[in-house]
A and B are shown apart, each in its own frame.
Chain A
Amino acid sequence: MAELKNRTGSRRSFVKTAGRLIIAAPVLTLPVILARKTDSKGYVWQIDPYKCTSCEQCRTACVMTPSAVKCTNAFPMCGYCDFCPGFLRQGAKTYNTAAENQLCPTGAIVRKFVEEPYFEYTIDEKLCDGCSKCVKACANFGNGSLYLQIMHNLCVNCNQCRIARICPSDAIIRVPATTPYLQKELKSTIS
Chain B
Amino acid sequence: MKKIKKYLPYLVLAILFIWHSVLYAQQQRFPRPEFEGGYTFPTHQFLNQRGPMWEYMDVAVLIGALLITAWIALVKRSRQGIIWVSLFSLAYFGFYRQGCICAIGSVQNMSLALFNGSYAIPLSALLFFTIPLIFALLFGRVFCAGVCPLGAIQELTGFRQVKMPRSVEKVLAVIPFVYLGLAVLFAATESQFLICRYDPFVGIFRIDAPYTMVIFGSLLLVVGIFVNRPYCRYLCPYGVLQNIFSRFSLKHVTISPAECRKCRLCEPGCPYDAILQSDHEPGSGTLEKPLKGSLRYFIMIPVLAAGFAVILFNFAPALSGVNVNVKLAREIRAEKDEGISAVSKAAVAFFESGKTEDALFQEEQQIIGRFRKGAPWVGVFLGLSLGIGFFRITLRKIRTDYEPDRGRCYSCARCFKFCPVKIKK
List residues of chain A with CB under 8 Å of any chain B CB: 1, 4-5, 8, 16, 19-20, 23-24, 27, 30-31, 33-35, 37-44, 53, 55, 57, 63-65, 72-73, 75-77, 79-81, 114-115, 118, 120, 122, 141-144, 149, 151-153, 155-160, 162, 165-166, 168-169, 177, 180-181, 183, 186-187, 190-191
Are B27 and A72 in contact (CB-based, < 8 A)?
no
B114 at the interface (CB under 8 A from A): yes
Which residue in chain A gives the minimum CB-CB distance to B196? A159
Q: Chain B residue with minimal CB distance to A16? A: B248
B352 touching A53, Cβ below 8 Å: yes
Asked whether any CB of chain A lies closer than 8 Å to the CB of B245, the reply is yes
Chain B residues numbered 37-71 whose CB sits less than 8 Å from any CB in chain A: 37, 39, 41-42, 44, 46-49, 52
Chain B interfacial positions (CB closer than 8 Å to A): 17, 20-21, 24, 27-33, 35-37, 39, 41-42, 44, 46-49, 52, 98, 100, 105, 108-110, 113-114, 119-123, 126-127, 130, 133-134, 137, 192-193, 196-197, 206, 208-209, 244-245, 247-248, 250, 283, 287, 324, 345-346, 348-350, 352-353, 398
The answer to whether A63 and B32 have CB atoms under 8 Å apart is: no
- Known A19-B247, A187-B27; judge A63-B206 contact (CB<8 A): yes
* CB neighbours of B247 from chain A (8 A): 19
Contact, CB under 8 Å: B349 / A166: no
Contact of B35 among A64, A114, A141, A159 (CB under 8 A): A114
Shortest CB-to-CB span from A142 to chain B, Å, is 6
Question: Shortest beta-carbon distance, A164 to chain B, in Å?
Answer: 10
Please measure, in the bound complex, the distance between the C-alpha atom of A168 and the C-alpha atom of B348, giving whole angstroms: 8
**Sorted from nearest, which 9 A-B pairs have the closest CB atoms?**
A79-B30, A168-B349, A39-B120, A153-B47, A160-B193, A42-B122, A75-B41, A152-B49, A20-B248
Whole-angstrom CA separation of A31 from B134 in the bound complex? 11
Q: Is the CB–CB distance between B245 and A39 below 8 Å?
A: no
Query: Once the chains bind, are A37 and B121 in contact (CB under 8 Å)?
Result: yes
Q: Which residues of A contact B42 (CB under 8 A)?
A: 75, 120, 122
Across-interface contacts of A35 in B (CB, < 8 A): 126
Residue of B46, B52, B105 most packed against chain A (CB within 10 A): B46
The reply to whether B122 and A39 contact each other, CB–CB distance below 8 Å, is yes
Q: Are B32 and A79 in contact (CB under 8 A)?
A: yes
Asked if A118 meets B21 with Cβ closer than 8 Å, knowing A55-B345, A65-B208, the reply is no
Q: Are B33 and A80 in contact (CB under 8 A)?
A: yes
Whether the Cβ atoms of A159 and B113 lie closer than 8 Å is no
- Assembly CA distance A65 to B208 (angstroms): 7
Expressed in whole angstroms, the Cα–Cα distance for A75 and B126 within the complex equals: 41
Residues of chain B with a CB closer than 8 A to A151's CB: 46-47
Q: Do A160 and B192 have beta carbons less than 8 Å apart?
A: yes
Closest chain B residue to A78, Cβ basis: B32
Tell me whether A143 and B123 are in contact in the complex, defined as CB-CB below 8 angstroms, given that A115-B39, A187-B24 are known contacts.
no
Q: Which of A158, A160, A169 has the most CB of B within 10 A?
A: A160
Task: Select from chain A the residue with minimum beta-carbon distance to B352.
Answer: A53
Separation of A151 and B46 alpha carbons in the complex (Å):
7
State which of A39, A79, A118 has its C-beta within 8 Å of the C-beta of B123: A39
What are 26 A-B pairs at a CB distance below 8 A? A1-B283, A16-B248, A23-B137, A27-B130, A27-B137, A37-B113, A38-B122, A38-B123, A77-B32, A114-B37, A115-B36, A118-B33, A143-B30, A151-B46, A151-B47, A155-B49, A156-B100, A159-B109, A160-B197, A168-B349, A169-B353, A180-B48, A180-B49, A187-B24, A187-B28, A190-B17
Across the interface, which residues of A come within 8 angstroms of B398, CB to CB? 5, 8
